[in-house]
Structure 1
Amino acid sequence: MRFDVITLFPELFAPFLAAGVTRRAYESKLVDVRLWNLRDYAEGNYRRVDDRPFGGGPGMVMMAAPLEKCLQAIRADQADARPVVLFSPVGRRLDHAAVERWSASDGAVLICGRYEGIDQRFIDRHVDLQISLGDFVLSGGEIAAMALLDAVARLQPGVLNDEGSHAADSFNPALDGLLDCPHYTRPEHWAGAEVPAELMSGHHAQIERWRREQRLALTARERPDLIEAARAAGRLSAADLAFLLTPDKKRL
């Protein structure tokens, strides 16, 4: 898959693409990331990409013409046109289901906005989908683009050291959309706290039941909406439902 990123700050991506386990996806081109500096497609000595908003108000607005010119260059370089995505507070919130769809796609053109926003005429003419990370505002779309790229890259075959790692992630359908359970490692005793006895038992069925209960308890406490979604979809067993009725959601 190929992701073309339109940005005013391509240098922000260099360490991101070269570090961590997901770099395998970028180096192997399983996730082919191509950076396009928007200023290369602006006119004038100052390569201006923004101007004052009509109607007044604070800040600046990214101009439509440089964005369209850059997009045209990307289209000329692509064998097949991919959807254009803008990271914006008005977009659909990115979730695991969307990441899974993107991980099996051909990619997209990712637009990293800056300033007060982008000329609406460009959005109306060219943008296919808007994505948000949540109900907060970033200085630009670069961090959001990196979040999407990272989430997609780690789902590619051979990227993680253990192929089963992402199957145990929070929100994964393999866990019925629940949050993941707490994890522990050596030493067994640390700062007056011990590893739960169930994890030290060597009894696989007991360990799996403990992990299931921890996922249920944590999700019920922090994200009850996920519990309701799992219940509505019929993904909770009778034992799960009985556990959720216990008053203390034991051991959490």
Structure 2
Amino acid sequence: MKIDILTLFPDMFKGVFESSILKRAQDVGAFSYNLIDFRDFTTDKHNKVDDYPYGGGAGMVLKPQPIFDAVEHLIDQHESKPRVVLMCPQGETFTQRKAEELAKEDHLIFICGHYEGYDERIREHIVTDEISIGDYVLTGGELGAMVVTDSIIRLQSDVLGNNESATLDSFSTNLLEHPHYTRPNDFRGMTVPEVLTSGNHQKIEEWRKYESLKRTYSRRPDLFEGLELDQKELDMLDEIKRNDVARDK
């Protein structure tokens, strides 16, 4: 996968992209990235990429010319039809499903804005996707682009070392992940659930499914909406609900 990132602050990315999983992903050839300061594409004699909004108002708006020229340059350079992702508060809320969708692409271009916003013609004519990582406001789109890139790249083959890891993560199954334990078995009197040391893999999987359902019911019941559970999972969920009611009495 090729990822191009248009930003006014390319140095923000280097620590994140050259560390941990993203660094490993590059080492195994899963992806490469290119940081483009779109100020380099401005034709303004003062090197400006923003201007005051028509109609008045606070803040500055990114001009269309540098963004259009930068994106068109990248498309011509790679002879591809990339997804062009605009990071903005008005975009669709980013989810694991969106990460899985974007992970199938060969080429992504991220546009990271600053200031008050974008000239609307950028949205209308060159952008394929608008993404927000949450209902809050950041100084710019850079942090959001890092989050989205990390979630996409970890889904590429051979990046995590164990390809099962990504498919079992919270939200990949629409359920929160079950609890995890490691050595020692007894830590300050707090012991690992006996089933996990039993060696009975069927019982272990049943425990993990039950705990995953229980944690989702307790913390994110909204995730059950539209989720199809099999009969065994439904029976487990009924038991969890009964136990919850009994505790409240």
Given the two structures, how large is their TM-score scaled by the length of structure 1?
Answer: 0.89
The residue type paired with residue 239 of structure 2 is F
Mapped pair 1:95 → 2:95: yes
Q: Contact 2:61–2:116 at 8 Å: present in 1 too?
A: yes
Q: Across the two proteins, how many residue pairs are aligned to each other?
A: 246
Alpha-carbon separation, structure 1, partners of 2:54 and 2:111: 22
Query: Which of 181-190 and 141-150 deviates more?
Result: 181-190
Query: 1:70 aligns to what SS in structure 2?
Result: helix
Question: Which ranges in structure 1 are unaligned for 5 or more consecutive residues?
Answer: none
Counterpart selection for 1:243 from 208, 216, 239 = 239
Alpha-carbon separation, structure 1, partners of 2:196 and 2:129: 44
Query: 1:151 aligns to what SS in structure 2?
Result: helix
Q: Contact 1:17–1:26 at 8 Å: present in 2 too?
A: no
Q: Contact 2:62–2:113 at 8 Å: present in 1 too?
A: yes
Alpha-carbon separation, structure 2, partners of 1:27 and 1:8: 26
Q: Contact 1:53–1:60 at 8 Å: present in 2 too?
A: yes
Question: Which ranges in structure 2 are unaligned for 5 or more consecutive residues?
Answer: none
Q: Contact 2:80–2:107 at 8 Å: present in 1 too?
A: no
Residue correspondence of structure 1 range 104-119 to structure 2 within 5 A:
104-119=104-119
Residue correspondence of structure 1 range 81-230 to structure 2 within 5 A:
81-173=81-173, 177-230=174-227
The percent of aligned pairs where both chains have the same amino acid is 36
Question: Quick one: structure 1 residues 191 and 115, their matched pair in 2 at CA, closer, same or farther if it must change by over 3 Å?
Answer: farther
Query: 2:117 aligns to what SS in structure 1?
Result: coil
Measured against aligned partners, the alpha-carbon deviations of 1:79-134 in whole angstroms (never above 9, x if no partner) come to 21212110111111111111111111122211011111111122212212101111
Question: Quick one: structure 1 residues 40 and 235, their matched pair in 2 at CA, closer, same or farther if it must change by over 3 Å?
Answer: farther
Alpha-carbon separation, structure 1, partners of 2:138 and 2:62: 16
Residue correspondence of structure 1 range 45-60 to structure 2 within 5 A:
46-60=46-60
Alpha-carbon separation, structure 2, partners of 1:249 and 1:198: 25
The residue type paired with residue 226 of structure 1 is L
Alpha-carbon separation, structure 1, partners of 2:31 and 2:186: 41
Query: 2:33 aligns to what SS in structure 1?
Result: strand
Q: Contact 1:243–1:249 at 8 Å: present in 2 too?
A: no
Measured against aligned partners, the alpha-carbon deviations of 1:189-239 in whole angstroms (never above 9, x if no partner) come to 335533222223332222222211111111011111112322xx2445343
